[in-house]
Amino acid sequence: MDTYTGKSIFKGIAIGKILFYQKGEQAVTRVKIQDAQAEIKRYEDATQQAIEQLNALYEKAVKEVGEVNAAVFEVHAMMLEDDDYMDSIRNMIETQQVNAEFAVATTGDNFSKMFADMEDEYFSARAADVKDISERVVNILSGKESGGSIGDEPVIIVADDLAPSETVQMDKDKLLAFVTRYGSSNSHTAILARTMNIPALIGVEISEEWNGKLAVVDGYTGSLYIEPNEETLAAMTAKQEEDRKARELLQKLKGKEDVTTDGRKIRLYANIGGVKDVANVLANDAAGIGLFRSEFLYLESEDYPNEEAQFQAYKTVAENMAGKKVVVRTLDIGADKQVDYFDLGHEENPALGYRAIRICLTRTEIFKTQLRALLRASAYGDIAIMYPMIISVKEVQQAKALVEEIKQELDEKGIAYGNVEQGIMIETPAAVMISEELAKEVDFFSIGTNDLTQYTLAIDRQNMKLDTFYDAHHPAVLRMIQMTIENGHKHGCWVGICGELGADMTLTKTFIEMGIDELSVSPSFVLPIRKIIREM
């Protein structure tokens, strides 16, 4: 028996044979062509076919892993139509008289290297995306199917790395676990693994010789056992059975209240990115939606989504939640979420730049369109509006003034709207330090622990080199959370947490003891956290 360790992405036990997954990349030969226009037509036809494949993958992914996680395939389709990328390929075919396969592969390599060399973590991560879309087009041009076939037997997939498209194309019923050499806990594939409830390890020194061998993946300890001995196999089988029983017990918590043993009620809500994610919220019995990331309506659109499109999305979610609270975060574009048509321009440090409420308060027509849609939709359910990246009282007052202006417009037109709560994200040290003043202006606070940790510790949360320094449990972060709760309660604000830390079950008891009113987490964490609450 050989034992290896890696970083766990999703907890769970998987036992089965290994399939060493190879992308099957082929060397692309440079071929001299005679008719450049005919070759460009071949390339354009292949691109169209690739876009159709990606659209089909998007539909498949939406059903299996939700709208937010499927969005990567829409991004890939848009990347295929990027002017710079397409011009480079066409120019290479015309000027060098080379075949389309060679032009696409070379351009893909060039653009991938360009992204990889960028210091910004978000843009450097796009290198893998460019490689993925280029390989897809080359495969179509070569008459080769894109990856995804893993056979009929359930297997543990071992690979150097996996593109999101490869992950989604695999038969979900045949996937026991993922083990990769590369990747990060924030990669698209890691997110998909968590959403699909599949144990996964990254950073493992893999070997092709493992193909076909029996293995065990322990997502709790980050261990991989190759050809486990009888004692280890028996222990892991028992652990897997305990895991299964624990998940079954959690299902019995559906319909139960989120109340501590001493009678304190906690609002246990869920985070979503789009309309289709509501099914997951209801399936996991969340009491409401604590974070509707409305920016995905913009990320998934080729132009600014109009008022009617936004209204329909918010209305549908409100109606489906049948009176349960739906907290919609207003547009949070910028930093790692870039949209071409916003034309935000290059920034040396986008995480500290032109983003979120700063865009909304300087491009008020965009903001007012969203606010009108939200107010109209509030007539169909309990919608609350939440403003992100707040650092001053003035910003809150400006946003509230726009809401009042829109209410007057709706009143004049006889258009109904509900009694909408307004709140803010607490995700900057500045907001924490003036939280007592901010609490006088709003109905609630929601603590965005991802950015709050990043800004408090001065650590880029997307920079893998800083993983060992990033400590979400840092005393400074916890003290800021405590201060926010206390100051919010002084002025009647309810206070929640909607960042990743809200799902950290080692801190659930701490947060409740601090006085937190609400926790909003990924839908799959609702029942495990309910169990902790009810046992306190």
* pTM of the complete model: 0.61
Q: State the catalytic residue, choosing from 76, 188, 360, 493.
A: 188
Strand 200-202 with 7-10, pairing: antiparallel
Report phi then psi at 2, rounded to 5: -115, 140
Query: E-assigned strands of 278-390?
Result: 289-293, 326-329, 383-387
Show pLDDT as tens, one digit a residue, over the chain (536 residues).
Answer: 899 999 888 888 999 999 888 765 556 888 898 899 999 999 999 999 999 888 887 887 777 666 666 777 788 888 898 888 899 999 999 989 999 999 999 998 888 888 777 766 656 667 778 888 888 898 888 876 555 556 668 889 898 877 666 676 677 777 888 898 877 665 656 766 766 678 889 889 988 889 889 999 998 999 999 999 999 999 999 998 988 887 777 788 888 999 999 999 999 999 988 887 888 888 889 999 999 988 878 877 777 889 998 999 999 999 989 889 999 999 887 655 566 667 666 766 766 777 788 888 998 999 999 999 999 999 999 999 999 999 999 999 999 999 999 999 999 999 999 999 999 999 999 999 999 999 999 999 999 998 899 899 988 766 767 777 888 899 999 999 999 999 999 999 999 999 889 989 999 999 999 999 999 998 888 999 999 999 98
Is 473 one of the annotated active-site residues of the chain?
Answer: no
Q: Which residues pair with 446 in a beta bridge?
A: 425, 496
Contact at 8 Å (CB) between 240 and 15?
Answer: yes
Q: Which residue has the tokens 């008459």?
A: 143
Contact at 8 Å (CB) between 313 and 297?
Answer: yes
Q: Which helix (H) or strand (E) holds 63?
A: helix 36-65
134: burial class by Cβ within 10 Å (0-12, 13-18, 19+)? Answer: buried
Question: What does the alpha-carbon distance between residue 455 and residue 453 come to, in Å, rounded to a whole number?
Answer: 6
3-state secondary structure at position 261: coil
| CA separation, residue 237 to residues 154, 234, 388, 478 (Å) | 16, 5, 46, 38
Is 360 one of the annotated active-site residues of the chain?
Answer: no
Q: Which helix (H) or strand (E) holds 292?
A: strand 289-293
